[in-house]
Amino acid sequence: MSARTPHLTAKLQGFGTTIFAEMSQLAVATNSVNLGQGFPDSDGPREVLDAAIDAINGGLNQYPPGPGMPVLREAISRHQQRFYGLAYDPDTEILVTAGATEALAGALLALLDTGDEVVTLEPMFDSYAPCISMAGAVSKPVTLRPPHYGIDPEALRAAITPKTKLILFNTPHNPTGRVFTREEVQLVADLAIEHDLLVITDEVYEHLVFDGVEHVALASLPGMRERTLVVSSGGKTFNTTGWKIGWMCGPAAVVAAVRTAKQFLTYVNGGPFQPAIAVGLDLPDRFYADLAADLQAKRDRLMPGLLRAGFEVFPTSSTYFVTVDIRPLQPDGDGMAFCRALPHRVGVVAIPTEVLYQNKREGRHLVRFAFCKRLDVLDEAVERLQRLG
Ligand code: PMP
Ligand code: GLN
């Protein structure tokens, strides 16, 4: 743990500055190719962008309703039905949030009491551990290990104690690119039912899945709709990560509880972007297929380049990300030092996966590269990485 930060509450000691901010800043300062923070470098569908422009020009510039604009809640409801066969009442079972980040923060703050435990999978998205801590609760991580990053059933079982309140389950998974199998998702469901737990699913990468692999929505398994809070957002699906339009779907009582916390965080956000994301959610299947195919092609461009540069590269079938073991190139396996030096050595930025682990040693030698970039940008990064050898 790093040195004590003055003024900062004990709950947030050790969390410092997010790695994404640090690395994006370094990318700008060193004029590097930024394969760190996951954001695409091209715009999403024209219809979605135009809908936001029309909304601004049409005067939709004041506070939207607390739960989100009806037009968006209705589109989210149709989306859950269309892709997962799940019916949610737009008025009582859907809540629009400031990105998935606020949906997760609001849910954790609303549902956790001091001392409660949350079962997580590590590596995990960087906001999970601090939000659990801000809620006064404790994250109990189950470690996923390369090359396949599957769930060890015994480790998952062992992580559940009488203090466990909920499971926080991210699939498709950042940073590993793992899409958990139907068996793995069923195991989470079985344990949640056996121990009477709620599950928060983080499905922000639900449409960024490759190779014909199926994303299994936990809420669609028998007995799970009533104990699952689904979180997603429009950022990745429509290349609009800066708009921060997210949502949650779940049983009315759970959504009502979370609404209480959420209303005191941002209250509402992104008025004119809400109807625009609604337009996106109703786009035809072709759009969704093309989105995944485009990213799959980008993955297939970057991965061989990383192999040629000398990394051990692990398979990924979703998200924006691929993880590597740096030890063939840096035998001491210090991923943090490697990533801090990489922009200066060859002009490329990546994320040291260590920061996404509670058990830091598990991720020390692992590094994440983002492939959600134009092909010429990926080619430039690969060319630069060849100089490492
Ligand atoms: N969960 C995961 C797994 C993510 O990778 C991200 C973001 N990049 C988020 C949540 C946050 O999503 P948003 O930008 O919609 O807040
Ligand atoms: N989700 C993106 C990533 O994992 C960035 C999120 C952020 O900057 N908070 O890289």
**176 and 67 part of one domain:** yes
Q: Which atom of ligand 2 is nearest to the CA of 37?
A: 10
Q: Do both 374 and 280 map to the same domain? A: no
Question: Which domain, by its residues, includes 169?
Answer: 46-285
Asked if residue 322 belongs to a domain, the reply is yes
Nearest in space to 110 (alpha carbons), one of 91, 122, 95, 126: 95
* Residue 3 counted as domain residue: no
Q: Decide if 294 is inside a domain.
A: yes
Using a CB cutoff of 8 Å and minimum separation of 24, what contacts does 140-148 make? 140/164, 141/357, 141/358, 141/359, 143/357, 143/359, 143/362, 144/173, 144/176, 144/178, 145/362, 146/176, 146/314, 146/323, 146/325, 146/366, 147/314, 147/315, 148/178, 148/314, 148/315
CATH of the domain at 249: 3.40.640.10
Do residues 189 and 231 share a domain?
yes
Q: Convert the pLDDT of each residue in 322-378 to its tens digit.
A: 999 999 999 999 999 999 999 999 999 999 999 999 999 999 999 999 999 999 999
Of all atoms in ligand 2, which is nearest to the CA of residue 370?
10
163 within domain boundaries: yes
Q: Map tokens 């060319």 to a residue.
A: 383
Q: Are residues 299 and 267 in the same domain?
A: no
Strand 312-313 with 321-325, pairing: antiparallel
Cα–Cα distance, 170 to 39 (Å, whole number): 18
Mean pLDDT, the chain, rounded, equals 97
Structural domain includes residue 299: yes
Residue 2 pLDDT grade (very low, low, confident, very high; cuts 50, 70, 90) = low
Domain count, the chain: 2
- Going by CA atoms, what residue is nearest to atom 3 of ligand 2? 38
Q: Is residue 311 part of a domain?
A: yes
Residue 247 CA, ligand 2 centroid: distance in Å: 17
Q: CB-based contacts of 293: which residues, under 8 Å, 6+ apart? A: none
Please give the distance, rounded to the nearest whole angstrom, from the Cα atom of residue 161 to the centre of ligand 2: 30
pLDDT number for residue 281: 98
Cβ of 235 less than 6 Å from ligand 1:
yes
CA 208 to chain centre: 11
64 and 161 belong to one structural domain: yes
Task: Give the model confidence (pLDDT) of 63-79 as tens digits.
Answer: 999 999 999 999 999 99
Asked if residue 362 and residue 335 are part of one domain, the reply reads yes
Q: Which ligand is nearest to the CA of 170?
A: 1
State the ligand closest to the CA atom of 241: 1
Question: What is the full DSSP assignment across 332-357?
Answer: T--HHHHHHHHHHHHSEE-EEGGGG-
Q: Is 20's pLDDT higher than 50?
A: yes
Which amino acid appears at position 162 of this protein? P
Looking at residue 18, what is its pLDDT?
A: 85
281 and 292 in a single domain? The answer is: no
Confidence of residue 16 (pLDDT cuts 50, 70, 90): confident
Q: Could you identify the atom of ligand 1 that is nearest to the CA of residue 102?
A: 16
1 pLDDT above the threshold of 50: no
Q: Which of 285, 318, 352 is the last residue of a domain?
A: 285
Share of the chain above pLDDT 70, in %: 99
Would residue 151 be called left, alpha or beta, if left means φ above 0 and alpha means ψ between -120 and 50 degrees? beta
pLDDT tens by residue, 242-263: 999 999 999 999 999 999 999 9
Do both 354 and 212 map to the same domain? no
Does residue 208 share a domain with residue 298? no
Strand partners for 254: none
Q: Which atom of ligand 1 is nearest to the CA of 246?
A: 15
What local confidence, expressed as pLDDT, does residue 17 receive? 81
Q: Are residue 356 and residue 263 in the same domain, yes or no?
A: no
Examine the fold and report which residue of 239, 259, 285 is the final residue of a domain before the chain moves on: 285
Q: Is 20 in the pocket of ligand 2 (CB under 6 A)?
A: yes
Residue 1 belongs to some domain of the structure: no
Are 218 and 250 part of one and the same domain?
yes
Q: Whose CA is nearest to atom 8 of ligand 2?
A: 20
Average pLDDT over residues 146-166: 98
Of the three residues 285, 320, 336, the one that is the final residue of a domain is 285
Q: How far is the CA of 101 from the centre of ligand 1 (A)?
A: 6
Considering every ligand atom shown, identify the ligand nearest to the alpha carbon of residue 21 and give its number. Answer: 2
Residues 29 and 107 in one domain: no
Q: What is the pLDDT of residues 207-245, one digit of tens each?
A: 999 999 999 999 999 999 999 999 999 999 999 999 999
340-346: long-range pairs with CB below 8 Å, 24+:
340/26, 342/32, 343/26, 343/27, 343/29, 343/30, 343/32, 344/30, 345/387, 345/388, 346/384, 346/385, 346/387, 346/388
Residue 132: pLDDT over 60: yes
Is 361 part of any domain? Answer: yes
Rounded to an integer, what distance in angstroms lies between the CA atom of residue 194 and that of residue 201?
A: 18
DSSP string, 133-195: HHTT-EEEEEE--TTT----HHHHHHH--TTEEEEEEESSPTTT-----HHHHHHHHHHHHHH
